[in-house]
Every structure is written in C-alpha cells, then in structure tokens.
Amino acid sequence: MTFKTFITLISISLTTLFSQSSNSRPVSTYSIVAYDEETGQLGVAVQSHWFAVGQLVPWAKAGVGAVVTQSFVRVEYGPDGLTLMEEGVSAEDALAQLLADDPQQAVRQVAMIDVKGSVAAHTGERCIDMAGHQVGKNFSVQANLMEKKSVWPAMAEAFENSNGNLADRMLAALESAEAEGGDIRGRQSATMLIVSGKPTGIDWQDIVLDLRVDDSPEPLVELRRLLRIHRAYEHANQGDYFMEENLINEALEEYRLAAEFYPENVELPYWSAVALAGIGRTEEALPIFYSVFSTNPNLRTMTPRLVKAGLLPDDPKLLDMIIKQ
C-alpha cells in the first residue's frame, strides 16, 4: 500500500464516520460529570487537546442532569440526553436509548448523570487507546487517547478524596489526570460548567459557573485562575447587592473578600473605598483611593460620575478630597 493510498483510506473512513452526524467531531479528551448531594448542583469539567472544547462536550441543566459527549463527538447526546432525563428517564436508560440509535456508538464516549443518583457511562470498543471510564457514587470520569490507562482511576480517586465544593473537587480530578500523563498529544482547552441545585426554570439564572479556556498552553492553570476570579466577583456582586440594600458593613466585608481573591484588580478595592466614603468614613477611604488612582487614573476620572447613581453623596468638598488623591 502506498502512502497516498493509506491517506485516501483514512480520509474515506473519517468522511464516512462524520456523515453519520452533522455535528460529529474528533474530540479526544478527559472529563468528569458529577452531582453534589448537599447542594443539588450538577457539574461537568473537561480538558482536551482540541480548540474550544466547551462548545461541544459539556451539557447540564439544573434539576435534570449533566452529560459529556466525547471521543468522536456526536453532539446530540448532550441535548437529547437532557431531554430524556427531563422527561423522567434515568441517566442509564437515556444513554442506552441513544446508543441504540447510533450506528457509530463504537467510537463514542459518553457519560450521563441525573439528580436521582443514576450514573451511566459508555466507552466504545473503537475509541482510541488508552480509553476507559470509571463510575462512582454521584460521578463518572472518562478519558480517551491518554498516555496511560491509569488516568481515569486517578481522576476518580482525586474526586472521591478531595475537599471543597463541587468546582474544587472536579478541578482536582482534572489536575490528577494531567499529573498522571493526560492526553498523549498534550493540552489545549478546558471548561467547567455547574448548574444550580435550586432550578428556577430560567436557564441563564440556573448557571452557577460557566468557565471556558479555549486555547492555552496550560489550560488547567488558566482554569484554576479563572475559578479564583469567579469567586472574587461572586463576593463583589454580593457586595453590590448589600449596597443596594444599604447594608454597608456587609458590603464592605464582601468587597474585602473580593479583593483578597483577586488582588491584581484594583477596581475591587475601589468599590470598598466608594462604600466607605459614602457612609462618612473618609479617612479610611482616602488611602485606598490613592492606591487605586496611582494604578488606574481612569477610575479617578470616573469617580464624580458615581454621584448621579447615588453611590457617592453630592458633596463637592468630598469629591475634591477624593480626586486629589
């Protein structure tokens, strides 16, 4: 067989495979789907040597379930699996139904979990080695095209033995996969999706966390950084809420925590200074304004505009003191 003939056969094989589904993509990866019994949250976390893995692999809906679809991805497993689980079909039966309708199930890798504790996973016999999965209580880990077959057991052990909330534990699973060798080709993108345990029926409100690293030499390092920043803004947003409710001390504590999580961002302590100035604690506020303005002068320019929104009193003397910092 000539090299040209070999390439032609590979091309024909892939074309035949992809023709089975308009959304099929060769996304080899490792991932976890999980359910947190305490909060009711459902989550998915993924890392892959493929661009923007978050567009294809992870699916979750609050009060329903979570899905990962990978290897030679058939995207339909995500939305169709969620639809079946929302109709009351268990994760195990939903996966069985979708596999039965897939003529290329031998190259698929899929996992599903529902809020009733049902977990199901499938690794087709034609998934590229090393490939496999491990199901545990309230989670499933799965991987293909790995350097070692010890990757997914390491993920399971990390998830079961790590502390923290759902995001912390899922990230621990991903990091353990990478420490074990990960994808034999390397790394490129990562994502984490978590939905609420208290569904409102409004999809965007039910998203607790949706982080995506589409292209990076160290996607898990970047994902951990984004998770830290996400937590900073959770506190900042709570601080804003307390400000609206005139709960100033509570707002200040939230702004303090936000700045602690994300010290690189001077805007977060800026809002602490604004809150302090707004309640007459000017002496405490001015040094913070000084530090902030020395790093980002645009915030000095912005400060008088806060009067209109009611965030600072209409007091020219106070504004002059602030602006001069």
Among 168, 193, 217, give the residue marking a domain's end.
217
Give the type of residue at 55. Q
* Residue 188 domain boundaries: 21-217
Q: Are residues 162 and 56 in the same domain?
A: yes
What region does 182 belong to: left with phi over 0, alpha with psi -120 to 50, or beta?
A: left
Residue 10 lies in a domain: no
Q: Are residues 210 and 241 in the same domain?
A: no
Of 229, 211, 199, 223, whose CA–CA distance to 58 is shortest?
Answer: 211
Are 27 and 47 a contacting pair, CB within 8 Å?
A: no
Separation CA 36–CA 138 (nearest Å) = 7
Among 185, 217, 249, give the residue marking a domain's end.
217
Are 47 and 182 a contacting pair, CB within 8 Å?
A: yes
Which residue, chain included where needed, has tokens 């913070």?
A: 288
Which residue, chain included where needed, has tokens 């979708």?
A: 98
Q: Are residues 85 and 178 in the same domain?
A: yes
Q: What is the CATH number of the domain that holds 300?
A: 1.25.40.10
pLDDT tens digits, the chain, 325 residues: what are they? 443 433 333 333 333 343 344 445 566 789 999 999 999 999 999 999 999 999 999 999 999 999 999 999 999 999 999 999 999 999 999 999 999 999 999 999 999 999 998 999 999 999 999 999 999 999 999 999 999 999 999 999 999 999 999 999 999 999 999 999 999 999 999 999 999 999 998 999 999 999 999 999 999 999 999 999 999 999 999 998 998 888 888 998 999 999 999 999 999 999 999 989 988 999 999 999 999 999 999 999 999 999 999 889 999 999 999 999 9
Give the type of residue at 50. W
Residue 6 lies in a domain: no
Cβ neighbour number for residue 119 with a 10 Å cutoff: 22
Of 142, 92, 81, whose CA–CA distance to 117 is shortest?
Answer: 92
Q: Are residues 30 and 177 in the same domain?
A: yes
